[in-house]
């Protein structure tokens, strides 16, 4: 792109750092039918503020995150990356999301930016050349010198031997575990880290270990319920403590609904009885007496 070719060396150095050496976390999106990498602005700000950026030569010095945001905003006109808006998924559940270029180009830590710069292609080119060389060497194997073909044969036998040894160890450790499970509960594993995600040397350390099951983890729902319950209890205790303070205002009690009196019913029925029986209601307390 013309805008990228017109960028000064300082800008290109910063972009190369962000693209290749900053460890910027990116996600895959679909822009105009093509897959692109995009990142969040806050990740780029952290990469600029990181100590690795200060080791670069001939780049602007950054003192805080505001300066980093201003620097990243000044790179946008060169179109190495552009602000995009994320849309729905392009396919199934795990398919990359569709991204579209936003017409208002500005930098903010809360926005997303798609890379339009692929970075150095040297590694990709070397990998392609190496693949072609390997394929040609395999096709031309009958033309190799006898010594080279003999060396390849010994190498293949050694690799097959290592694979066979690995399967033998796996079978032996399984048989030993079954025997120890009957004799010495809960059982003993030889090379317990053999199938763990560790290095080659750590796979054989320690030599043996008891087959102790890992502690059961509580479900997140139970932990969340306990945390919510304890939080409500703490809030209630704090409100109670505030209410018991000497100068704390007393909350007015809610008004109670008026209760109907027992005399209201007979008083309402008295005129009806007098009208039916013909008796005259007393006019005063003296008449009652």
- pLDDT recorded at residue 22: 74
Higher pLDDT, 48 or 263: 48
Average of per-residue pLDDT values in the chain: 80
- pLDDT recorded at residue 286: 45
Residue 254 scores a pLDDT above 50: no
Residue 76 scores a pLDDT above 90: yes
Higher pLDDT, 147 or 254: 147
Is residue 208 helix, strand or coil?
strand
Answer yes or no: are the C-beta atoms of 109 and 69 closer than 8 Å.
Answer: yes
Averaged pLDDT, 40-68: 90
d(CA 57, CA 14): 10
Q: Name all domains of the chain by residue range, CATH numbers in brackets.
A: 2-120 (1.10.10.10), 144-233 (no CATH)
**Least-confidence region, from 93-97, 137-141, 214-218:** 214-218
- pLDDT recorded at residue 151: 93
- pLDDT recorded at residue 101: 93
**Burial of 71 per CB tally in 10 Å (0-12, 13-18, 19+):** buried
- pLDDT recorded at residue 278: 45
Residue 130 scores a pLDDT above 80: yes
Q: Which of 113, 44, 57, 119 is nearest to 82 (CA)?
A: 113
The structure tokens listed for 124 are 């990709």
**Least-confidence region, from 122-126, 234-238, 269-273:** 269-273
Higher pLDDT, 81 or 256: 81
d(CA 16, CA 22): 9
Residue 206 scores a pLDDT above 70: yes
Summarised one tens digit per residue, pLDDT across range 193-203 is 888 888 888 88
Indicate the helix (H) or strand (E) that contains 209: strand 208-210
Sequence-separated (6 or more) residues with CB below 8 Å from residue 264: none
- pLDDT recorded at residue 155: 94
Averaged pLDDT, 157-174: 94
Residue 262 scores a pLDDT above 50: no
Percent with pLDDT over 70 in the chain: 73
Q: Which of 89, 77, 83, 44 is nearest to 62 (CA)?
A: 44
- pLDDT recorded at residue 250: 53
Averaged pLDDT, 3-20: 88
d(CA 174, CA 181): 10
What are the C-alpha distances in Å from 287 to residues 178, 280, 281, 284? 109, 11, 9, 6
- pLDDT recorded at residue 66: 92
Q: Which of 72, 69, 73, 49 is nearest to 61 (CA)?
A: 49
Averaged pLDDT, 218-232: 63
Averaged pLDDT, 32-43: 92
Averaged pLDDT, 2-23: 87
């Amino acid at each position: 792109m013309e805008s990228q070719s017109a960028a000064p060396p300082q800008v290109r150095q910063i972009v190369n750092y962000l693209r290749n050496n900053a460890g910027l976390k990116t996600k895959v999106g679909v822009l105009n039918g093509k897959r692109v990498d995009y990142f969040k602005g806050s990740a780029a700000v952290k990469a600029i503020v990181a100590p690795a950026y200060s080791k670069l030569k001939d780049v602007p010095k950054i003192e805080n995150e505001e300066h980093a945001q201003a620097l990243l905003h000044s790179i946008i006109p060169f179109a190495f990356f552009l602000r995009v808006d994320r849309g729905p998924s392009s396919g199934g559940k795990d398919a990359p999301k569709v991204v579209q270029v936003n017409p208002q180009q500005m930098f903010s830590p809360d926005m997303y930016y798609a890379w339009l710069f692929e970075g150095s292609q040297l590694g990709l080119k070397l990998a392609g050349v190496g693949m072609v060389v390997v394929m040609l060497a395999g096709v031309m194997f009958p033309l190799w010198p006898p010594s080279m073909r003999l060396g390849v044969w010994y190498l293949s036998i050694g690799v097959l031997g290592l694979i066979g040894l690995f399967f033998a160890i796996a079978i032996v450790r399984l048989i030993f575990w079954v025997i120890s499970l009957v004799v010495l509960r809960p059982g003993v594993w030889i090379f317990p880290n053999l199938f763990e995600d560790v290095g080659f040397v750590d796979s054989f350390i320690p030599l043996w270990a008891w087959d102790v099951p890992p502690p059961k983890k509580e479900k997140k729902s139970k932990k969340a319920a306990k945390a919510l319950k304890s939080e409500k209890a703490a809030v209630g205790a704090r409100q109670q403590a505030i209410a018991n303070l000497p100068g704390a205002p007393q909350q007015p009690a809610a008004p109670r609904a008026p209760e109907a009196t027992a005399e209201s019913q007979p008083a309402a029925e008295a005129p009806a009885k007098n009208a039916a029986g013909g008796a005259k209601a007393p006019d005063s307390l003296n008449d009652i007496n």
